[in-house]
Amino acid sequence: MNVFEGWKVTSPYGYRSDPFTGGRVFHTGIDLVKYHKYPIPAFVGGVVLFAGEGVAGTGFGGYGNVVALRDEKGHVHCYCHLDSVAARKGLTISKGDIIGYQGTTGRSTGSHLHYEIRAKDAPSYGYGSHVDPGEYLEQYYENSEEDEDSMTIKADDWVWKQIYNILGAAYNEGKIDWQWCQKVLDRTLTAWEYTHVLAVIEARTKGVDVDSENPAAVAPDQRRK
């Protein structure tokens, strides 16, 4: 999974030569480029903790204009060197929302986005607790997809349970045959069959005998007493 697809990576996470001094330093984020003043979308949703100029002592000294948001797992996502910010502190951001514009403010040699992820939000917005942005986002997205799949399964389970409750009650009252309850347990009951069986239940609830050829029908002499 290429979480930065469409971006030009000009400096990855890890050790590199300092662009100002030439010395070997650890780059705490990843530098990404589109074009100057490109509208930056949030890679994840979260709550904005900081939006403005990063001055000394804030945890963003030299980072220029910064937007920092905390995701649901407590990690802080820092968008740095922005030309301008488009978010405010306390705002809840969704993935894809524009948080600012690519720039070259602060200690920067050219227009780019320095994207940094920190494992905690204090002190100084988690300064020094940086993690690999690419690895974190890849795992984050994978977990999010698993969560969505799990929610879908749970919703699906709930629907089948409700159907079983309805048909089970009808079976106990002698209005339908067990085969329809079994189809629910096997999850092979089709939408057409369910509609069909509901019509039979409704008819028998009103005391109307149904056609014996109806596949959901139970012959009168076989109904429960």
- pLDDT tens digits, one per residue of 131-179: 999 999 999 988 876 555 555 555 677 788 888 888 888 888 888 888 8
Closest Cα to residue 204, out of 170, 172, 179? 170
Domains along the sequence of the chain with CATH: 8-131 (2.70.70.10), 151-222 (no CATH)
Whether the full predicted model's pTM is greater than 0.75, yes or no, is no
- Band the pLDDT of 213: cuts 50, 70, 90: very low
CB distance 129 to 136 below 8 Å: no
What is the reported pLDDT for 38? 95
3-state SS assignment for residue 206: coil
What is the reported pLDDT for 161? 83
Read off the tokens for 123: 């002190």
Work out the average pLDDT over 30-51.
95
Rounded to 10 degrees, the C-alpha dihedral 123/124/130/134 comes to 120
What is the reported pLDDT for 225? 46
Rounded to 10 degrees, the C-alpha dihedral 11/14/17/20 comes to 70
